[in-house]
Amino acid sequence: MKTSFWLAGATALALAQPAVAADPIKIGFVSTFSGPTAVIGNDMRNSFELALDHLGRKMDGKPVEVIYEDDQQKPDVGKQKTEKLVQSDKVDFIVGYIWSNVLLASLKTAVDSKTFLISANAGPSQLAGELCSPYVFSTSWQNDQTPQAMGTYMNQKGVKSVFLIGPNYAAGKDMLAGVKSTFKGQVVGEEYTVWPSQLDFSAELSKARNSKAEAIFVFYPGAAGVQFLNQYAQAGIKQQIPLYTAFTIDELSLPLQKENALGVPGAQQWVNDLPNEQNKKFVTDYRKKYANLRPTFYGAQSYDAANLINSAVVAVKGDLTKKDAMKAEMEKVNFKSVRGPYKYGNNHIPIQNFYLQDVVKDGEGQLALKTVATIVENDQDRFHDKCPMK
Amino acid sequence: MKSKLNASNAVVAVVCAALVLLPIYSAATGNIFILTLLTRIIIFALAASSLNLIMGYGGMMSFGHAAYLGIGGYAVGILAAEDIGSGFIQWPVALAVSALFALVIGSLSLRTRGVYFIMITLAFAQMAYYVASALSRYGGDDGLTIYKRSTFDGLINLSDRTQFYYLCLGCLFGGIYLIWRIVNSRFGLVVQGVRSNEQRMQAIGFPAYRYRLTCFVIAGTICGLAGALLANNTDFVSPAVMYWTRSGDLMVMVILGGMGSLFGPLIGAIVYLVLEELLSQFTEYWALIMGPLLLLIVLFARGGIMGLLGRVRRG
Amino acid sequence: MFLLIEQLLNGLQFGLLLFLLAAGLTLVFGIMDFVNLAHGSLYMMGAYFAATFVGWTDSFVLGAILALAATLLLGIALEFVALRHLYGRDHLDQVLATFGLILFFNDMVRLIWGPAGLALPLPAWLTTPVQLLPGVYYPAYRLSIIIVALLVAAMLYLVVMRTRIGMLIRAGASNREMIGALGINIKLLFTLVFGLGAALAGLAGLMQAPILTVQIGMGENILILAFVIIVIGGIGSIRGAFLAAIFVGIIDTLGRAFLPDLLRKVLSGAAASTAAPALSSMLIYLLMAIVLVLRPEGLFPATKR
């Protein structure tokens, strides 16, 4: 009985590579589809699917096949799934990656096999610097850029001292380093919490209150952002010390954060109300296709990733062996991004604007994110010098 | 390894033959991934086998066995990060550090019994986990990418999939052979005797504590080898390999396959990991099937799969 | 000074929350000799039930009571359908089976409530901070957790020490065969104890929901802490669980609060910031290892064998 099962397993795995007549464009998509942060992965998948709908589910006339893999928010699992996509499914592109640590673990597999990898979210500093690669592009940002914009905004507001709190993983460290690089005032405290398991921030909040800082800056993506805002409000610190954030309030967390998020500013390269045509189409159709949901910046970046890939496939007329030509085309950003036009630096990280977003009540009486101002224009990450590519 | 022809022996023979022949199948069909998957399974089977030595034969329910996977892996990873790429240094260090760790935690843990032993081994593994998380120089929580696999002066090339596969398979068979020798030696019989009646063995004059500790250290060392292999296989090591759920996975493999059966952990590792891979391809809700399946195995198939197969012959 | 008081309160609150979870676990473990990993799932179900019922009834208190009842019933049903067949089995069998239940419950919740997690809003009167001493503010809700948990602890103490059921429970914890021999309906007693444990887990889950989270897998990390507590306290001992829980809560919180600053005195700033959270999480396990090395059956062993 055992034998037959095992053989069945082996055959099923062998058959996992379907033989389709018209060579499809194969795209692997690695993101988190289980556990508490699965909502982010779902939004990325939704947006990617919508982009394919808009492209007629074809790239240069060829059908597109997407294989979604769940990284469970674990670096080792993400690495394993990337291996499967490269070796077993033999995909032409790999897209996704929410988490910096998962991306860093998976990077070598993709680069060694010369498979194009488009990071639709994670942007660890190593990726922009010494680990940059001709085969890796980002449709998001380098981690430090967004908090750098927030640091600049705090300078504009005349904030003199800040208390920093963030999770203890690659992106968390990058984020706090980013604020520190632009903020001109004094950093009176810096706390890291265990990621992703620590959800009680009472000890950190007590210290922040005691530090008498003029502002608190935090970075807590996903569910942790909900808890942080809850506890911040309940401890009564909201009335005492204003909060500045990066990647803590988005369309996914807002319905859970509710009034706690009102008036808390954040920085982002994309906000759902950006007034360009491509973005209006994206947001409107997203809300039409997925009832009761709103796209997030994670989704916007995934939507862009699909279009970036399409531009490369079209440029080489579907001949995916022409890797150099595809790389050259992607470097041109020859598609309409939902964030508006942007350029690529030598390290394939976007040079782009960052906007100030605020939480307001919209026309439908719901809480929504609104673009308030442009904080920085054409911002390039601060690690591009370390990238050996010219 | 009594050469009786029964269902479980037949299955073991078929599985081993299939494992030996797998690279040929892989080369013929171009399916590289099945080789990658099975390499991983074999490494976990080695780790599970070492756990079986103390759990199945020695009655020591360690809930911290994954710690050695991490220690072996970090020995390789840290040395590689410091530009010491030779496997002749990396691997002995991995084994020695694992043995030392086993010696220290074993000498303290073996003073407790039962659930307290389960929990104290867990505590030590968690401490190892947090120490690894605190190694900011070596990636901390995020883990450490290994850019070059261990080198063996041209003796064997670990970057070659087939060679690496056979190396892992060799380690597994070697490990199982070693365990078989230990179990059937005088030493092994004493350890098993201690499991069933410690007082009596003590009364006869065997220093039970020392025997158990030696057994504990041997198991830890074998698992450290599995850790070194795993780090080379994934080119990456992170604290996550030491987390308690990973120790739980190893326990599940052992119990699933059949505790105290020589090839049980191998069968358990194959079934557990292949099932996980297959179910997760069919449905996102794979755990909805896997969970009750585990419950049913416990309720109706005591002795794991090997026990079940043993019953097939009889019934 | 104020900071220390505030952090001690944070630690006490966390410890008491852990006690609610650990109390049920130690009862079930001590009396039935049953290792229940699915205890964390009951904690999760308590939070999901509460979030759902509070949404339906628009009342935090009413929703919480309904959720408690629901978790109690779920616990009893679980015991009846699956777990009672595992009594007397090897601990490892129990671990494997209840590990399977964790997998099942997590995906069940995902199927029913979706992957996003839920929010459990507080009534307005609990959202504002309370001034305890001049200059010392404390969130009202955290204060209410402390009060509720202390009441539950007192009630448990009275039930266990002063009633007939409590006498049987104590007898069961120290000698299982004994109460069976006394002609007590042991099956019913076990079901009741399991239900009580489930309700306590549910209470812990719903109490923490407004500050922490209502999400899948929320029970797993905290479950390990609960196990640590019952082992430190001595399996089967409510008193041991109570003291160990407070101890663990305070050590964990103080470690997180003050270890980074201590480390910065010895290490460079960046290395200290990264190492501190990991090392402070380690303190609890270090504590357990030390306790077990010195007292291999925990601080207050209930079982005399």
How distant is the Cα of B297 from the closest Cα of chain C, in angstroms?
8
**Is there a contact between C86 and B299 if contact means CB atoms under 8 Å apart?**
yes
Name the residue among C100, C228, C278 with its Cβ closest to that of B291.
Answer: C100
Rounded mean pLDDT, A261-286: 94
Of residues A39, A227, A233, nearest to C212 (C-beta): A227
Q: Whose CA is closest to B272, among B37, B68, B72, B21?
A: B37
For residues C211-237, average pLDDT: 88
Task: Name the residue of chain A whose CA is nearest to B140's CA.
Answer: A169
Tokens of A11: 């055959």
Any chain C CB within 8 A of the CB of A328?
Answer: no
The whole-number pLDDT of residue A245 equals: 95
Q: Which residues of A197-219 are buried (b: 16+ CB within 10 A; e: fewer)?
A: ebbbbbbbbbbbbbbebbbbbbb
Coil vs helix vs strand at A377: strand
Q: Higher-confidence residue: C304 or C240?
A: C240
Give the pLDDT confidence score for residue B4 in this predicted structure.
57
Determine the residue of chain C that is closest to A193 in CA distance.
Answer: C277
pLDDT of residue A146 exceeding 70: yes
Which residue out of A256, A257, A290 would a mutagenesis test of the C interface target, given it has the greatest number of C Cβ atoms within 10 Å? A256
Taking residues A123-142, what's their average pLDDT?
94
- Cβ contact C278–B130 (<8 Å): yes
Q: What residues of chain B lie within 8 A of the CB of A87, using their CB?
A: 32-33, 36
CATH of domain A2-141+274-341: 3.40.50.2300
Asked whether the predicted pLDDT for residue C90 surpasses 60, the reply is yes
Q: Which of B116, B131, B251 sits opposite C292 (nearest CB)?
A: B116
In total, the C-beta contacts within 8 angstroms joining chain A to chain B are: 102
pLDDT, greater one: C92 or A355: A355
Domain that holds residue B269: 7-309
Q: Do C117 and A230 touch (CB under 8 A)?
A: no
B134 DSSP 8-state letter: T
In this predicted structure, what is the pLDDT of residue C66?
Answer: 97
> Which of C100, C108, C271 comes nearest B136 by C-beta?
C271
Contact C276 A199 (CB under 8 A): no
Check: CB of residue B296 under 8 Å from CB of residue B289: no
CA distance C186 to chain A (A): 39
Q: What is the CATH number of the domain that holds B172?
A: 1.10.3470
Distance from CA of B103 to the nearest CA of C (A): 15
Contact C278 B290 (CB under 8 A): no
Q: Touching check for B14 and chain A: CB below 8 Å?
A: yes
> For chain A, which chains pass the contact test of at least 3 CB pairs under 8 Å?
B, C
- The rounded distance, in Å, linking the Cα atoms of A195 and A212 is 26
pLDDT value at A229 more than 50: yes
The helix/strand/coil state of C166 is: helix
Whole-number Å distance between alpha carbons of C41 and B184: 42
**pLDDT band, residue C52 (cuts 50/70/90):** very high
Tens of pLDDT along C156-179?
999 888 888 888 877 776 776 777
- Which chains contact C through at least 3 pairs of Cβ atoms less than 8 Å apart? A, B
**Contact: A79, B236; criterion CB under 8 Å:** yes
Interface of A with C in 244-283 (CB under 8 A): 252, 255-256, 258
Which chain C residues contact residue A206 at CB under 8 A?
A: 3, 6-7, 10, 257
Per-chain mean pLDDT for chain A: 90
| pLDDT greater than 60 at residue A12 | no
pLDDT at A19: 42
The model's pTM is 0.87
Q: Are residues B238 and A34, on separate chains, in Cβ contact within 8 Å?
A: no
Using the structure block, give the residue that is written with the tokens 């209470």: C203
Could you give the dihedral angle defined by the CA atoms of residues C65, C68, C69 and C70, in that order, rounded to the nearest 10 degrees?
A: 120
- Contact (CB<8Å) A227/C139: no
Is residue C83 in some structural domain?
yes
Q: Name the domain count of chain B.
A: 1
> Is C305 within the bounds of a domain?
no
Chain C interface test: which of A206, A220, A294 (most C C-beta within 10 Å): A206
Reported confidence tier of residue A78, pLDDT bands at 50, 70, 90: very high
C-alpha B235/C-alpha B164 separation (Å) is 13
Helices (H), A98-163: 100-112, 125-128, 145-156
Closest CA to B84 of B150, B132, B130: B150
Give the residue, B136 or A162, on which the prediction is more confident: A162
What DSSP character marks residue B151? B
> Could you give the CA distance from residue B289 to residue B287 in angstroms, rounded to a whole number?
5
- Asked whether C44 and C209 are in contact (CB, 8 A), the reply is no
Domain presence at residue C180: yes
Domains A2-141+274-341 and A145-268+354-379 fall in the same CATH topology: yes
Per-residue pLDDT, averaged over A369-375, amounts to: 94
**Residue contact A192–C7, C-beta within 8 A:** no
Domain boundaries, chain A: 2-141+274-341, 145-268+354-379
Q: Residue C302 has what pLDDT?
A: 67
315 residues of chain B, pLDDT tens digit each = 444 567 888 999 999 999 999 999 999 988 888 898 899 999 999 999 999 999 999 999 999 999 999 999 999 999 999 999 999 999 999 999 999 999 999 999 998 888 889 889 999 999 999 999 888 889 888 889 898 899 998 889 998 989 999 999 999 999 999 999 999 999 999 999 888 888 888 888 888 899 999 999 999 999 999 999 999 998 899 998 998 888 988 998 998 898 889 999 999 999 999 988 888 777 767 778 888 888 887 777 778 888 888 765 443
Q: Does A234 sit within 8 Å of C273, measured CB to CB?
A: no
User: In chain A, which residues have their Cβ closer than 8 Å to the Cβ of C213?
Assistant: 36, 199, 223, 226-227
B141 touches chain A (CB under 8 A): yes
State the pLDDT at residue A11.
47
* CA distance linking residue B98 with residue B225, whole number of Å: 8
Interchain CB distance below 8 Å, C137 and A236: yes
Q: What is the DSSP letter of B5?
A: -
pLDDT at C217 over 90: no
Contact: A235, C141; criterion CB under 8 Å: no
Structural domains counted in chain C: 1
Say if residue A8's pLDDT is above 70: no
How many CB atoms neighbour CB C147 within 10 A? 10
Give the pLDDT confidence score for residue A4 in this predicted structure.
Answer: 44
C87 domain-assigned: yes
d(CA A110, CA A131): 12
Q: Which residue type does B97 have?
A: V
> Residue B2's pLDDT is what?
46
Homologous superfamily of A145-268+354-379: Response regulator (3.40.50.2300)
Structural contact between residues A310 and A336, judged by C-beta atoms closer than 8 angstroms: no
The total number of residues shown for chain A amounts to 390
Residue B314 included in any domain: no
For residue A295, pLDDT over 50 is answered with yes
A-chain residue closest to C103, CA distance = A35
Cis peptide before A167 (omega within 30 of 0): no
β-partners of residue A368 are A360
